[in-house]
Amino acid sequence: MGLVKMGNVIILGSQWGDEGKGKIVDLFSGQFDIVARYQGGHNAGHTVFIGEKKYVLKLIPSGILRPGKKAVIGNGVVIDPAALFAEMDMLQSAGVEVMGNLFVSNRAHVVFPVHRLMEKMSEGRPGRIAIGTTGRGIGPCYEDKTGRRGIRIADLLNTEFFRAQYDSVMEEKVTIAKALGIYEEIDFCGIRDEYEVFAARLRPMVCDTSVLLNQAILDGKKVLFEGAQGTMLDVDHGTYPFVTSSSASAGGACTGTGVAPTRISGVIGVSKAYITRVGAGPFPTEALDGAGDRIRQRGNEFGSVTGRPRRCGWFDVPLMRYTATINGFDSLVVTKLDVLDEFDKIQVCVGYRSGKQEITGMPATVAEVEKIEPVYECMPGWGTPTFGISNYDELPAKAKDYLAFLESRTGVEVGCISTGPERNQTIVRSGSRFEKLIT
Ligand code: GDP
Ligand code: IMO
Ligand code: MG
């Protein structure tokens, strides 16, 4: 293979999701030719504001909002066709051109209603500590994928094969449900007919997206990979089992699209100026006092998919060092700086302890993470609004100090800062690695 000109970048969440990936990917997708999602499903909720108009994208990459850009749903994504069509209809009625710009992998797995039922059963099982999932059937669909009984988009398009495969998979599920005494009557045939109708609507968008992406890269086009969820929700590297079921970290971009690591030029992490988490699981810097409530109110921290209040807390340096290592971050985008505008004091967790013992690295088990006592350093607040500032020099000196502190402690440059939900409420640091990768 000849020399390939590259400029392919991964942008992903460095915490527990909802870091503002949607805003950042939308903003910079203008510099790329294709935006590709590589994992997750409609458990994601990526919010993009363009002027007064708000879009919440779940399955479709945020790049779709830029006219003329291609959007790819890669093989690592799990697709609920009904959710995809609802999103397409929402976009089309807002005047966004979807057909002709959206490409769906023939190897992506299909989410069925039975996956939601399995999840409900698993989350509600007596004696189980619920994960607090989004209830979209994402986990059980990935279970079928790794269990080698999943149904893929290519299978759905082959009617005869689909019928046989669907009947066999559902028969297995009924047998298990009956054996466990949890069988509920489901209209399996009605659902199969419905999915055959879905197949017809999907067909024009389906292709081998790995071929599409690799050919585009050979032709000198630039691809932006959009992560969903965040590294601490990654099935391998997150706070297992309180995670999602896919590879949200940088490695997932390659397995989830069929583009080789040698084709990737850089990895950018998105982080809030603080941290949030939705659902259950350990959270060392959770602010259970009034500060957490203030962050939630000022940051409007309510889930974009389920509307659940997000748990809020302080920036966690050891966590960021961990996710920076897993992903090899070249640069960080720090979002929602404006949310901290009115705080007199801002805590930053700079280390982990358990009793007298220092904890280095990220412990593997929930029990150990729950034992973490964060060591905080207190930074002074800046007391003046940063909302909407788009020029670094205009930031208050103490806000710059805060960012410099995060930079020095995490060891990753802060190349971009977001000061509001809109496109123009963003600062790109001149001379940064971020600027070189994105522009
Ligand atoms: P994602 O899942 O990572 O795309 O993030 P979400 O869309 O779920 O949540 C981020 C929320 O913060 C959205 O409502 C965004 O509109 C909003 N947001 C993003 N950046 C900023 C920012 O810099 N300041 C403020 N105030 N809001 C922001
Ligand atoms: P975006 O892409 C935040 C969380 C759920 C739950 C766990 C498992 O918007 O950042 P799942 O339904 O995936 O099996 O739930 O993961 N979760 C998210 N939290 N942002 C997301 O996506 C999330 N997607 C899943 O709350 O704790
Ligand atoms: Mg979100």
Per residue in 340-370, pLDDT (tens digit) is 999 999 999 999 999 999 999 999 999 999 9
Binned at pLDDT 50, 70 and 90, residue 5 comes out as low
Within 6 A (CB) of ligand 1 lie 13, 17-23, 45-47, 49, 304, 335-336, 338-339, 418-421
Tell me the residue type at 103: F
Q: Evaluate the CA torsion angle 238, 241, 243, 247 in order and state its sign.
A: positive
Give pLDDT, residue 2: 45
Per residue in 134-147, pLDDT (tens digit) is 999 999 999 999 99
- Distance of CA 92 to CAs 55, 82, 207, 255, Å? 12, 15, 21, 30
* Helix, strand, or coil (residue 224): strand
Ligand found nearest the CA of 302:
1
* Helix, strand, or coil (residue 167): helix
Q: Evaluate the CA torsion angle 268, 257, 70, 7 in order and state its sign.
A: positive
Structural contact between residues 42 and 305, judged by C-beta atoms closer than 8 angstroms: yes
Mean pLDDT in residue range 24-29: 97
Pick from 48-57, 158-167, 177-186, 294-303: least confident: 177-186
Pick from 4-8, 354-358, 391-395: least confident: 4-8
Query: Of 39, 229, 235, 247, which is best to mutate to test ligand 2, by the most ligand atoms within 8 angstroms of its C-beta?
Result: 229
pLDDT at 1 over 50: no
Answer with the residue of higher pLDDT: 379 or 52.
379
* Among 338, 334, 339, 348, residue whose Cα is nearest residue 429: 334
**b/e 4-14 (16+ beta carbons within 10 angstroms → b):** eeebbbbbbbb
Per residue in 305-349, pLDDT (tens digit) is 889 999 999 999 999 999 999 999 999 999 999 999 999 999 999
Q: List CB contacts of 180: < 8 A, sequence separation 6 or more.
A: none
Mean pLDDT in residue range 17-23: 98
Give pLDDT, residue 148: 97
For residue 320 the two structure tokens come to 């960021």
Whole-number Å distance, alpha carbon 231 to ligand 2 midpoint, is: 11
Q: Rounded to two decimals, what is the model's pTM?
A: 0.97
Mean pLDDT across the chain: 96
Cross-strand partners of 277: 311
Half-sphere exposure of 269 (CA within 13 A, CB side): 30
Give pLDDT, residue 373: 98
